[in-house]
Amino acid sequence: MSPAPAVKTLLIDGKDVSASGDQTILGAARENGISIPTLCHLDGLTEVGACRLCLVELKGSTRLQPACVMLVEEGMEVTTHTPRLQKYRRMILELLFAERNHVCSVCVANNMCELQDQAEAHGITHVRFPYRSPSLPVDASHERFALDHNRCILCTRCVRVCNEIEGAHTWDLLGRGVNSLLISDLHEPWGESDTCTSCGKCVQVCPTGALFDKSKVGGKVRKNPDFLSYLNEMREGLR
């Protein structure tokens, strides 16, 4: 067994906090009741640091750092909610709404959507950027689930849960930039996938209505991404 990492003490939003040396700023903050917004992060999955919502300010550094990957350090002074950070977070959310066709009123995830929640939490009443209105398909070939690219924010939670937890690696991304597209296998219809085990984990972890259970449309069934931490605990316990 490797030696336990040293305990570090740091300051988050003026609050004295102690954390284990292998903990991220996000982990330490949440453990101490300090909330930092996230979209791509999910307890139990590897971090990608992609959504940039969790960027925080560190004293003595002009560069913003993602709290989800940045490890705590002794004497660190972290600020999580400056006007500058809040402004950037609002803009990031606006960019997401303008990027694809997020029509909340007709979305299966209306009122159960993390993107919508974040918009509300950040006081977003409208999007100042022009809507891009791309033409995107819906893949409803799977017998139980469906994928609506219009609502996908490319957070790759589904890619990671499928690869890291289920071990199937059905999902991955095609293309790059704004043309990135979530695909199953080698860009085949989901229903024809050889690797998909129909476990439904991707649907549970999807923060928006992009991946959904066909039988629950309009049924207002909240997704349950929390099963991951349970799975991981079970795994640790078995080891």
Site residues (vs other proteins, CB under 8 A)? 48-52, 55, 64, 66, 69-70, 87-88, 91-92, 95-99, 101-107, 110-111, 116, 119-120, 123-136, 153-154, 172-173, 175-180
Nearer to other proteins, 142 or 159 (CB): 159
Nearer to other proteins, 32 or 110 (CB): 110
E strand map for 152-204: 171-174, 181-184
Task: Give the nearest distance from C-beta 153 to other proteins in angstroms.
Answer: 8
CA 36 from centre of chain: 13
Task: Give the nearest distance from C-beta 150 to other proteins in angstroms.
Answer: 9
Q: Which of 105, 195, 192 is nearest to 140 (CA)?
A: 192
Sign of the torsion angle spanned by Cα atoms 24, 27, 30, 32: negative
Nearer to other proteins, 175 or 235 (CB): 175
Give SS3 for 56: strand
Q: Which of 187, 201, 205, 204 is nearest to 141 (CA)?
A: 187
Task: Give the nearest distance from C-beta 176 to other proteins in angstroms.
Answer: 5
Task: Give the nearest distance from C-beta 211 to other proteins in angstroms.
Answer: 18
Give SS3 for 10: strand
